[in-house]
Amino acid sequence: MRKTHLDPYENTPRDAVVTANDYPHGLRFALHTHQRGQFAYAAKGVISVFTSEGNWVVPPQRAIWVPAGVPHEMLMSGPVTMLNTYIRDPAVARLGLPAHCQVFGVSDFLRHLLVRAIDIPALYAEEHRDGHLMALLLHEIAAMPTLSLNAPLPTEPRLAKACRNLLNLPSLEMSIDDMADQVAMSRRSFTRLFRQQTGISFVEWRQQACLLAAVVRLGNGEPITRVAMDLGYSSSSAFTTVFRKVLGETPSRYFSKALL
């Protein structure tokens, strides 16, 4: 696999470096890795991340952690403004950041730290103000709450293919029996293997797949009612309940704040 280095800070002798970039809608970064862990904050727009283990969606004003060495693709639904914090392995271990991809909430305080850190030189003085600010930023990253905005992919080939098909056209109307028929399994065998391979039930996974698609579409300005109906929700209020459970606010309020 060819490695793609998106920023020239892999070897900077500091625990963390913060960069900011603007990307157009539809830009896709092909499969690549980083030598450092990447905490990618979507200041504006929506970021989709794909690995062999699953899909993640990062709404505006949220972030994703991608560990060092994990091959991943990124797709921008935007335009997107991304603030990246690249973190060295010793700091990752010290902070206890996860060994897998994870979407995180971002506090107002962390948001301000990230914006301030953009202007800090890559070779900042560690014992002076800039160094203390960067250390505080790292501790704040480690304190952020996790969000359930991913759909893990099974490794069994038939299940993986069926899940990818559903991610491409997500719908709550896809039943357990429909999926079991696709992979030529009994309902019982399918449900048992699916949970074994993904850690969640198919019903939970299907809801996650629909929520990921909804976040991308809402981030692109599509009406809530149309998105909810297309994905098979019984009503826009039923969809709003699911959205608020994961992201803490109604879709209309969340995305109106994201534009501020």
pLDDT tens for residues 168-205?
999 999 999 999 999 999 999 999 999 999 999 999 99
Place of tokens 């603007």: 22
In CATH terms, the fold of domain 16-147 is Jelly Rolls (2.60.120)
Task: For residue 111, give the DSSP letter.
Answer: H
What was the pLDDT predicted at 245?
87
SS3 content of the chain, % helix, strand, coil (to 5): 40, 25, 35
Of 83, 88, 74, the residue nearest 43 (C-alpha): 83
- Please report the pLDDT score of residue 7 as a whole number: 53
Domain ranges of the chain: 16-147, 151-258
Provide the pLDDT for residue 118.
Answer: 94
d(CA 2, CA 21): 22
Q: What is the mean pLDDT of each run of 10 residues along the chain (260 residues)?
A: 51 91 95 95 95 93 96 94 96 96 95 95 90 96 93 93 93 95 95 95 94 92 93 93 88 75
pLDDT of residue 9: 75
CATH code for the structural domain at 151-258: 1.10.10.60
Q: What is the pLDDT of residue 5?
A: 43
Residue 249: per-residue pLDDT: 87
